[in-house]
Structure 1
Amino acid sequence: MKKLFLIIGLASLTLTLTSCERDITSLNEDPKHPTEVPSGVLFASAEHALLDQVLSANVNRNITRFFTQQWSETTYTDETNYDMVTRPIPRNHYNRMMASASATINSPGVLSALRDARRFLDSEGVDAVTKNNNIAMIELVNVYAWANLVDTYGDIPYFGALKATAENPGSAEIPYDDAKAIYLDLIKRIDAAVAMINTTGSGYSNDLIYKGDMSKWKKMGNSLKFRMAVTLADSDPALAKTYAEAAYTAGLFTDKLDNFGLQTFPSGLLSNPVYQDVIQSGRNDFLPSDILVDFMNTTSDPRRATWFTQVAGAYVGGVYGDQNVFSSYSHFTNVISGENAQGFLLDFSEIQFLRTEAAARGFSVGDTAANLYSAAIKASMTEYNINDATATAFIAANPYNAVNWKKSIGEQAWVAMFNKGFQSWNFARRLDFPVFQNPGGSVVESVPVRMRYSDQEYLLNAKNVNAAASKIGGDKVSTKLFWDKF
């Protein structure tokens, strides 16, 4: 394992740039990039960077756990009050997903690493089956990263960013593209990637997540398509239904072992990002929030004992948006903040809740919404080793409400997606449950339903970012994405 860490670290180092240009420009060809690096190493670096950024709890670059008000802070409360200017969080997330100019030795840009992996793969002389499988893996991680950016900002530079133009490699002027058009193109890319997969062969042996198991990657592609299809449900119901049913028929995740992420993080460079930010940092900055813990207390949720410690025999969350004395409240257990704890970017529990939502919307996905609601909660309970009898009793006490299905699914998905910030945020925005209150100290107009564009864009791509802001109704955290209709 130490050898793997070293290889990834070296690959990351080769991807680090010193350019002061805006980071998206490194998606174009750049003579400073390495001329020969094993594509499997670059692919693993991209996986690492994606896991690190999406799962991070670092307040400088990922505060989605505050967008769903599941975590509280102790000393510093800027982030729980949605200050994203003092720490340039929109810039940092955008840069780490897009390219490597701002990346650290352990965290290259996701999309730039994938671009180079694809470029170097062509010269490696692998057999056709393996090459196609590797291309499919690269494409599926690409789609995941691009979809995350659309779900975060809305319209972004996409079609122009994909074109490596030798004539103008350093151009910072790249137009923004329509978010829905990007989404539809990404779904086409999923279909093309899945069609390339040959499950009798294997993919990259460097693969951190599935170890090149193409049957797992095929399920991942179908499950990612299913997520994106359900996300489209309010903006284009007919198309969402077509895509969701096709993905379901093709084969989704069937248990936790299919999850896209790591079942157990190793120690060292690849340790759990939450551990790095909560424990290894030596700081006591984070607590579970009173909003989440109080809700779980009202339902006697058995996951509390797995996720939180007790204070005087009770589960007590820190007040959201305020300062909190660390010792006075419940803390995260090792299941959440342990060095080797799990971390998933797309998982079986999420897919089960998405199937529940799809069934409630009238899609044909194998069962009724009521049955799938029970199965989704059980999937979450099983993920955290809660026994079936306890899960069954919980479901009986908190039954599915077909009349107000968005509330039933939204609230239970919100709990199940605890510590999965981006996943939880998508459910909450689409279903509008739970209903969040903007904290009294908030510096923005509402609880964020999108992230503002990177401040660097207004310096280096002003014409295009201003046009994009005008098109979507203003570069504000309250401006809804194209799929967030209600």
Structure 2
Amino acid sequence: MKKAIKVCILSISVSLGFVSCQSDLTSLNDDPKHPSVVPSENLLATALYQSSYYMDNPSVNFNNYRFFTQQWAETQYRQETQYDLVTRNQPRNHFNRMYVYSLNNLQQAKTFLANEANDANVKANKLAILEIEQIFVWENLVDTYGNIPYSEALSVDQTLLPKYDDAKTIYLDLINRIDNVVQTVDASADSYSSGDLVYQGDMTKWVKFANSIKLRLAMNLADVDPALSKSTAEAAINGGVISSDTEAYKFAYDGGTFTNPVFDNLVASNRNDFVPSELVINTMQGLSDPRMEVWFTKVNGIYKGGVFGDFNNPYTNYSQLSSYFRDSKTASNLLSYAEVLFLQAEAAARGYSVGDTASNLYNAAVTASMNENGVSAANTATYLAANPYNASDWKTSIGVQAWIAMFNRGFASWNFTRRLDRPTLVNPSTSNLSSVPYRMPYSDQEYVLNGANVNAAANAIGGDQATTKLFWDVN
């Protein structure tokens, strides 16, 4: 099992062109396709690409986040918008990519880094990047599945069948890991350069990213552990979170070796499977949202969304995603400045001490999204005047606006819709489930390879169903 994982990881590295092979005679004894040692920066680059690409992938074969938030509708097929998560094995596919392609690459990078020649401060910074990126992937997994293999998951030398850890216990450990790792960073020292495809070795940005993950975790705890949520959120903000679009966690695609996953699924594949949903179009039209002009095409002079859960054929009868999303170089913006501001606005609305009012942070969050999408200051001001913050119904104000701003950022949007229950999502009459998904079921392969542990986890969370809520989703 260990050997299979290593082969998979290193084969990915080679396929992306990150590994060069020796040509001396002694190398004839080695397998050039599966080298035993790879520079840690190569594995970092691989993990950054893989995690970004698959967290953001709209393919019906992977995470399906955009359908969980009902922002996209389908045309030729309906299984995914009817919440069929069995036929295409999405739970297995996402689980494997996050563990094998991302977490294990990062764990291998940590191992190889230990033997690389670096100044102590440089090595500490490099290790911090690997640690923060691992935490980011763990956050995605625990908020996708709930209880997951964690403490024993990356120790294949000791444990072939890892136990599933309690999700809240994982949350507490991730928060502690963030606190510990940011203390090791020396922003004046060097770190990874060519391997860091997100922040190019800027440790100040990595620390702000880490604190922003901490803020995400804190706000998810708001209803289940308000005191911990408050102290954690306030500490994250005081430590410094993402404070501009240039600090957002974005994976930039070059349009050649790396292409945006939306481009791959809508353009390169030459398929017409997805349209913006009726819920998105109608909600934005009702608010006179100027981002519609940037995001969608019109049909006979109007915007028309697809009915969620239905066939929406012919494709040309509906609005489509514009070139803004379809470009091969569009970055995967997986933790945006706008999202961080909405999280802070929510914290303020809940009475946390965050240095500003909920109203001001709401306005800043909407403005950040408008700026990100090229909307003029005048149109932004008009929009905010027509859609002001409502303190008496702050969940609707923040929830709906965050859901719009997170369009095409499925995982981020899913966190808001599960926590705030805004906007109101509907279950299509043809759905396979009794409600919208609150989690992804466990991988079917786990029941074959790690049956005792996955069955114990299913019992612990109240059943391995997509409709089982995560521990923090109590309202």
User: Do these two structures clear the TM 0.5 threshold for a shared fold by scoring above it?
Assistant: yes
Instruction: Report the secondary structure of 2:257's partner residue.
Output: helix
Q: Which of 334, 339, 363 pairs up with 1:345?
A: 334
Instruction: Say which SS state the counterpart of residue 404 (structure 1) adopts.
Output: helix
- Alignment partner, residue 195 of structure 1: 183
Offset at 1:269?
A: 2.5
2:449 aligned with 1:448: no
Task: Report matched runs for 1:423-434 at 5 Å.
Answer: 423-434=412-423
Residues 349, 376 of structure 1: 8 Å contact kept: yes
Amino acid in structure 2 at the alignment position of 1:176: Y
What's the TM-score once normalised by structure 1's chain length?
0.90
The residue type equivalent to 2:111 in the other structure is R
Asked whether the equivalents of residues 12 and 45 of structure 1 are also in contact (C-alpha less than 8 Å), the reply is no
- Residue 143 of structure 2 contacts residue 439 of structure 2 at CA under 8 Å; is this kept in 1? yes
Structure 1 match to 2:133: 141
Per the alignment, residue 270 of structure 1 pairs with 258
Q: How does 1:48-59 map to 2 (within 5 A)?
A: 48-59=49-60
Contact between 2:53 and 2:332, CA under 8 Å: does it hold in 1?
A: no
Task: Provide structure 1 residue ranges, at least 5 long, that are not aligned to the other structure.
Answer: 15-31, 100-108
CA 1:473/1:33 → structure 2, altered by over 3 Å: closer, same or farther?
farther
Q: Does 1:114 align with 2:103?
A: no
Q: CA deviation at 1:202?
A: 2.3
Output the CA distance in 2 between the equivalents of 1:218 and 1:454: 33
Inter-partner Cα distance in structure 2 for 1:473 and 1:34: 44
1:413 equivalenced with 2:402 (yes/no): yes
The answer to whether 1:66 aligns with 2:67 is yes
Write the mapping of 1:43-442 to structure 2, written as runs, cut at 5 A. 43-99=44-100, 109-166=101-158, 171=160, 173-205=161-193, 206-262=195-251, 264-324=252-312, 325-442=314-431
Distance 1:242-1:8 versus aligned 2 partners, 3 A rule:
farther
* Letter of the structure 2 residue corresponding to residue 163 of structure 1: S
- TM-score normalised by structure 2 residue count: 0.92
3-state SS of paired residue (2:149): coil
Letter in 1 for 2:268: Q
Q: Give the fraction of aligned pairs with identical amino acids, expressed as a percent.
A: 50
One-letter amino acid matched to 1:155 = N
Native 8 Å contact 1:74 1:323 kept in 2: yes
Cα displacement (A) at 1:119: 0.5
**SS of equivalent residue, structure 1 residue 270:** coil
Per-residue deviation at 1:118?
0.5
Compute the displacement of 1:163 (Å): 3.0
1:165 deviation in Å?
Answer: 2.9
Q: Tell me, yes or no, if structure 1 residue 457 matches structure 2 residue 449.
A: no
Spell out, residue by residue over 1:421-461, the C-alpha distance to the aligned partner (whole angstroms, 9 max, x if none).
00000000000111111011111221101111111111111
Q: CA deviation at 1:34?
A: 3.8
Contact 1:159 1:177 in 2 (8 A): yes
In structure 2, give the amino acid aligned to 1:67: F
Counterpart amino acid of 2:187?
Answer: T
Give deviations 1:327-355, integer Å, cap 9, x for gaps. Answer: 11111111112111122111100000000
Q: Secondary structure at the match of 1:377?
A: helix
Deviations along 1:218-252, whole A, 9 cap, x unmatched? 11111111111111111111111111111111111
Q: State the distance in 2 between where 1:8 and 1:232 align.
A: 40
Matched residues in 2 for 1:137 and 1:192: separation?
13
Quick one: which amino acid aligns to residue 112 of structure 1? N
Task: Give the aligned length.
Answer: 451
Instruction: Output the CA distance in 2 between the equivalents of 1:33 and 1:268.
Output: 25
User: How far apart are 1:6 and its partner, in Å?
Assistant: 8.7
**Contact 1:8 1:41 survives alignment (8 Å):** no
| Large movers: runs of 4+ above 2 Å | 5-8, 10-14, 162-166
User: Aligned with 2:187: secondary structure?
Assistant: coil
| 2:94 maps to amino acid | H
Counterpart of 1:20 in structure 2 is: none
| Whole-angstrom CA distance in 1 between matches of 2:232 and 2:316 | 49
Maintained 8 Å contact 1:157/1:175 = yes
Query: Which shows bigger deviation, 46-55 or 196-205?
Result: 196-205
Work out whether residues 359 and 368 of structure 1, in 8 Å CA contact, stay in contact via their aligned partners in 2: yes
CA RMSD of aligned residues (A): 1.7
Residue 26 of structure 1 corresponds to which residue in structure 2? none
Inter-partner Cα distance in structure 2 for 1:120 and 1:340: 31
CA shift, 1:62, in A, is: 2.0
Does the aligned pair in 1 maintain the 2:43–2:106 contact within 8 Å? yes
Q: Name which of 16, 19, 27 aligns with 1:9.
A: 16
- In structure 2, what is the Cα distance between the partners aligned to 1:270 and 1:357? 35
Letter paired with 2:129: M
